[in-house]
Chains A and B, each alone.
Chain A
Amino acid sequence: MYTFSNRLKTFSIALIIIGAIGVVYGFMTSHKSFEDVETMLAAEASHGGGHETETKAHVVAGDTEHADNSHDANAHDALADTEHHVDDHTKHVEHVQHQIANRPWSALYVAAFFFFMIALGVLAFYAIQFAAQAGWSPVLFRVMEGITAYVLPGALIVLAIAVASGTIGHYNLFVWMDPDVVAHDKLIQGKAGYLNLTWFIIRGLIFIAGWSLYRHFARKFSIAQDNADVNDNRNFKKSFRIAAAFLVFYIYTESIMSWDWIMSVDPHWFSTLFGWYVFASMFVSGITVIALVTIYLKSKGLLPFVNNSHLHDLAKFMFGISIFWTYLWFSQFMLIWYSNIPEEVTYFVTRFQDYQLPFLGMVVMNFVFPLLLLMNSDYKRIPWFIVMAGIVILCGHYIDIFNMIMPATVGDRWFIGIPEISAILLFAGLFIFVAFTALTKAPLLAKGNPFIKESEHFHY
C-alpha cells in the first residue's frame, strides 16, 4: 500500500492555500471604477509614436469583440444618435471594464477545466485499455485509477464556476447567460432552446453522473478482481463491458461538453470538429500525467514492476497524440482560413491579432517540441526526457485552453499573471491531493487482472 508522504501532502496543501490567496486577490482587484478604466485607456492611447500600431490593432480587436458580443445592436442604434461619440466612448470604457472584471473568472475557469480535463482524459485512456484488453498496461491501472478520482470533484467545480459566473457573477464567462444580451441578439435567441441555464446545468449533471458512475464501478470491479479467485474473471468481464459502454457515452458527452463548457463562450461561432480537438488535448495531457505520476512513484521505488518498456509506450502515446492534436488544430484552422467566411474567421483573426504569442507558441510547445524530443526511440525510455517533454506538453495544453476561453471573455486584456498562476496552483494542489489520496486506498499493483503477468513481463 502506498502512503501519501507528508512532504507531498504539505506541498499540495501549500499550493491550495497560496493559490486560493492569489485567486481571492485577483477577484478583489478586478473591480475597476469607470474613471479608473478611462484614465488607464487614456494613458495607453497617449503613449503614441511606436505604440500607434498597437492601438490600431486594439481598436480592430475591439470591433470584432463587439461583433461577437451583441453590444453592437445598441451601438447601431447609437449611430443615429447625435451624441454617438460620447455614447461610443462610454460603451468602450464599460466594455473594457467588463473585460477586466472577467479576468479572474476566466483564469479560475481555465485552470479548473485544465485539471479536470486531465482526469477525464485518463479515464478515457483507462477505458480503452479495458475495451481493447490491452496486455501491456495493467501495471499502470492503479496510477490511472488514482488520477481519475479527480473526475468527479473536478467536473463539479468546472460546472459550479460556469453556473456561478451566470448567477452570482455578472455573466463573466458566457454572454448567452445574460438575458439583456439575448434580448438584443437574434442569433443567440435562435439557440436559446439549447443555450439556457437550466438545460446547461441538467446536461452538465448528466455528463458528470455518467463519467462518475463508470469510474466508480470500474474501480470497484478492479479491486474486487484483486480479491477474487485466480480463475474467477467475472469482475474483469464486467469491467470490459462497462468500459465499452462508457466509451460510447464518453465520445458523445465529451463532444457536447466541449460545446457547452468551452465553445459556447463564443455563442456565434462554431466548429464541427471542436469536440475532437478538445478530446486530443485532454487525451495527450492525461497520458502525460500518467507518465509523470508513474515516473514519480517509480523514483520512490514503489512501482518495481514498471519497466522502461512501459514508459516507452506511454511516451509513444505522448508523441503520437501530440501529432494528432496538431492535425486537428490545423484542420480546424485551415478550413476556416481557406473559406474566409467573416462569422467564422473572426475567431482566428482575434487570436492572430491579440493572442499571437500564446496561439503560435502553443503549436511550438505542443507539436515541434514533442516531435523533435520524442522522435528518437531511445529517448522515450529516459525518464528525465519524458519529464521534460511532459512539462512542456502540459504547459502547452494549458495555453491551448487559455486560447479557447480568454479571447471571448477578456479580449486583449489578457496576461498570465497572479490570477492565472494562482488558479493553476490552486487546482494543481487539489489535483495532487485528490489523486494521491486515492492512490493510498488500494495496492499499487492490480494483481488480480488476468493480463497482469503479461504486463509485468512486457518487454519490447
Chain B
Amino acid sequence: METSKVIHAIYTDDDVLMSAVKRVKAEKHHIEEIFTPFPVHGLDKAMGLAPTRLAITSFIYGCIGLTVAIVMMNFIMIEDWPQDIGGKPSFSYLENMPAFVPIMFELTVFFAAHLMVITFYLRSRMWPFKKAENPDPRTTDDHFLMEIAIHNNQLELENLLKETGAVEINIVEKEEAH
C-alpha cells in the first residue's frame, strides 16, 4: 500500500486552533483534516469547507415522513378499517384530518431526525465495526489535531505550525485510504 507523509500539529485550545487554521489557510496550505473533541463553531468556514447539505437531506426526509403519515393514516383509518373518529362517522379523510395531524407531525420529525443522523454517520464514513480513523486518542479528550500533507515543505510547515502555537508536532507515515 502506498504511503505519504503527513504532519500532525496538536493544540490544546479551540481559540488557538481557530487562529492557527486562519493562518495556515492564509499561507495557502491545504488542511487534510482536523480532529476535535467537540464541535468548534466556525471551523468549517475557516477551513474553507463547502457548506453542508445535511439540512437539505433533512428537509427531504421530513417531506417523506409527512407523506408516509398521510398515506398510512388514510389506509389504516379510512380504507382498511373505517373508523368512527370522535363520534363523527363521516369516513372522510378530509373531515377527520385534525385527528391525524399529531401523527403527521410526529412522523415528519421522526423521519427527519433519524434519517438525518444516519445520513450524517454514513457521510462521515462511520458504520458498525469500522476501524477508527482517529490518529490520536487524545483528540477525544482535550486535544485538537490538525493534519497537513507534506509536499517537500516539511521544514517550512513545522516552523509555521510552531508559530501558531502548536504544543506538539509529529511527522507520520500515513497509509493511503484509496
Contacts and interface: CB of A to CB of B under 8 A. Distances in A.
- Looking at chain A's contact residues, is the secondary structure mostly helix, strand, loop, or mixed? helix
Contacts of A340: 86-88
Interface in B54-96: 55, 59, 85-88
Nearest to A330: B101
A377 B86 contact: no
B128 interface: no
Interface centre among B41, B59, B88, B98 (most CB of A within 10 A): B98
Contacts of B98: 330, 333-334, 337-338
Interface string B4-26: 00000000000000000000000
A459 interface: yes
A459 B42 CA distance: 9
A273 to B, nearest CB: 15
B31 interface: no
B77 to A, nearest CB: 14
Interface in A300-341: 330, 333-334, 337-340
Nearest to B88: A340
Nearest to A460: B41
Contacts of B55: 377
B41 A338 contact: no
Given A377-B55, A460-B41, A337 B86 contact: yes
A342 to B, nearest CB: 12
Contacts of B85: 338
A451 B41 CA distance: 20
Contact of B86 (A330, A338, A459): A338
A333 B98 CA distance: 9
- Range, interface on chain A: 10 to 19
Nearest to B41: A460
Interface residues of B, number: 12
B117 interface: no
B126 interface: no
A330 B41 CA distance: 36
Contacts of A339: 86
A334 B99 contact: yes
Nearest to A339: B86
Contacts of A377: 55
A375 B58 CA distance: 12
A8 B50 CA distance: 44
A42 to B, nearest CB: 36
A376 B99 CA distance: 29
Interface string A433-460: 0000000000000000000000000011
A337 B102 CA distance: 14
Interface in A248-285: none
Interface string B106-123: 000000000000000000
A338 B41 CA distance: 46
Contacts of B99: 334, 338
A344 to B, nearest CB: 13
Contacts of B86: 337-340
A358 to B, nearest CB: 19
Interface string A359-387: 00000000000000001010000000000
A408 B86 CA distance: 26
A124 to B, nearest CB: 26
A370 to B, nearest CB: 16
Contacts of B101: 330, 334
Contacts of B42: 459-460
Interface in A374-433: 375, 377
A339 B87 CA distance: 8
A326 B169 CA distance: 55
Contacts of A333: 98
A338 B86 CA distance: 5
B46 to A, nearest CB: 12
A333 B102 CA distance: 12
Contacts of B102: 334
Nearest to A334: B98
A147 to B, nearest CB: 30
Contacts of A330: 98, 101
A201 to B, nearest CB: 39
Contacts of B88: 340
A107 to B, nearest CB: 31
A330 B103 CA distance: 13
B120 to A, nearest CB: 17
B100 to A, nearest CB: 10
Nearest to B42: A459
B28 to A, nearest CB: 24
B10 to A, nearest CB: 26
Interface string B34-60: 000000011000000000000100010
Contacts of B87: 340
Nearest to B87: A340
A338 B55 CA distance: 35
A331 B8 CA distance: 55
List the 7 closest pairs (A to B, CB-CB), nearest first: A338-B86, A334-B98, A337-B98, A340-B86, A340-B87, A330-B101, A338-B99
Interface of A: 330, 333-334, 337-340, 375, 377, 459-460
Given A338-B99, A340-B87, A377-B55, 6 more contacts: A330-B98, A330-B101, A333-B98, A334-B98, A334-B101, A340-B88
22 contacts: A330-B98, A330-B101, A333-B98, A334-B98, A334-B99, A334-B101, A334-B102, A337-B86, A337-B98, A338-B85, A338-B86, A338-B98, A338-B99, A339-B86, A340-B86, A340-B87, A340-B88, A375-B59, A377-B55, A459-B42, A460-B41, A460-B42
